[in-house]
Structure 1
Amino acid sequence: MQKQITAQAIISEMRLEFVDTEGLSTPLGAAFEYDPVDPYAVSVLFSDEPTPVRWTFARELLIEGFYEPTGDGDVHVWPCLNTTGAAVVILELSSPSGEVLVQVESRSLAAFIHQMVAMVPQGAEETLVDLDAEIAQLFA
C-alpha cells in the first residue's frame, strides 16, 4: 500500500553566498524546496538572476553533505567554515555552461533539513513512490 502525504511542499527562503575564485562572497537570494510528491529530490531556486534558475538533486546529498563531504557528478556538498569562522555548508554545482560555488549558513539549512526529514523520514521515501505506475508510465 502506498502512503498518502497531504502535507504541502516546504519552501524556505535563505540567504546564500556566491563564492568566487578569490574566495570572496556575494549575497544571493535563494529558496530551498522540498515536495513529498517527489520524495527523493530537493531543489534550490536561485531567484536573484534575471531568469530564476532551479537546481534539483537527491535530497540525500543535502542531508549527508551537511555532515561530511559527499557528491558525485554535477553536485557536491560539504560542511565548512567561512572566512569569519561560522559554520556553513558548501554546494558546488556544475553544468555544461559553467560551475558555481555557494555557501549557506548551517543553522538555516539544519532547520530546513529537520522539516524535510520530519515530513518524510529517511528511508520512507520508497513508500511514497508507486514504482509499478512509474514504470508503466515510461512504457505508455
Structure 2
Amino acid sequence: MANSAPTPRTVWCTLHLRLVVSSDSTLPVPVELRYAPTDPYAVHTTFHTGAEETTEWVFARELLTEGLRRPTGTGDVHIWPSHSHGHPVVCIALSSPEGEAALLEAPAGALRSFLRRTYAEVPPDTEHHHIDTDSLANFLDTVWRSND
C-alpha cells in the first residue's frame, strides 16, 4: 500500500479588526478568513459591516504574509506592519474605484497564526500542485469553442 500525503484542509479563522474612524476612534469589525487549498494563492475574507451586511474581499496569501514584515501592495490594497496602543498590528488600507477607502488594523499575532496554518496545509511554492488544471483546460476549451 502506497503512502499518500493527507489531503489539505480548508483553514478558517475569525479575527476582530478595528476600522480606523479618526486618529483617536476605531470601530470593531469581525472578519472571517478562509483559505481553501483548491484556491491556493488566495485568502477569502468576509467583513461583517452591519447587522446583516457583509463585504467580500480576496487577498493574495503572499501579500498578507509580506505585509506582516514590510509595506506592500499596489492599487486598491496596501498592507504594512505597525503598532497600535503598544500592540503589533497589520494595517490594511482598502480603496474602491468609487473613491471609498477604509483603514483597518488586524492583530498581527492572530493573522500570523492563521497564515502559518495555511502554510502547514499548502507549503510555499507548492500552490501550483493544488490547482485543478483539468477543470481549467475544460473551461478554456468551452470558451474557445463558443467563440467559433
**TM-score > 0.5 by shorter chain:** yes
- Report the aligned-residue RMSD: 2.0
Q: Which residue of 1 aligns with 2:56?
A: 54
Task: Return the TM-score normalized by structure 1.
Answer: 0.87
Contact 1:5 1:36 in 2 (8 A): no
SS state of the match for residue 37, structure 2? coil
Q: Which residue of 1 aligns with 2:30?
A: 29
Return the index of the structure with the highest Cα Rg.
2
Contact 1:14 1:32 in 2 (8 A): yes
Superposed, 1:58-77 pairs within 5 Å as 58-77=60-79
SS state of the match for residue 73, structure 2? strand
Tell me the distance in 2 between the aligned counterparts of 1:73 and 1:22: 24
Contact 1:17 1:102 in 2 (8 A): yes
**What is the deviation of 1:32?**
1.4
**Farther-moved stretch of structure 1 (47-56 vs 115-124):** 47-56
**What is the deviation of 1:45?**
0.9
Unmatched tracts of structure 2, length 5 or more: 143-148
Sort the Cα spacing of 1:23 and 1:4 in 2 relative to 1 into closer, same or farther, 3 A: farther
Tell me the distance in 2 between the aligned counterparts of 1:5 and 1:72: 36
Q: Which residue of 1 aligns with 2:121?
A: 119
**What is the deviation of 1:6?**
2.9
Tell me the distance in 2 between the aligned counterparts of 1:48 and 1:40: 25
Q: How many residues align?
A: 137
**Farther-moved stretch of structure 1 (56-65 vs 24-33):** 24-33
Task: Return the TM-score normalized by structure 2.
Answer: 0.83
Contact 2:17 2:30 in 1 (8 A): yes
Q: Which residue of 2 aligns with 1:85?
A: 86
Superposed, 1:33-44 pairs within 5 Å as 33-44=34-45
Contact 2:8 2:122 in 1 (8 A): no
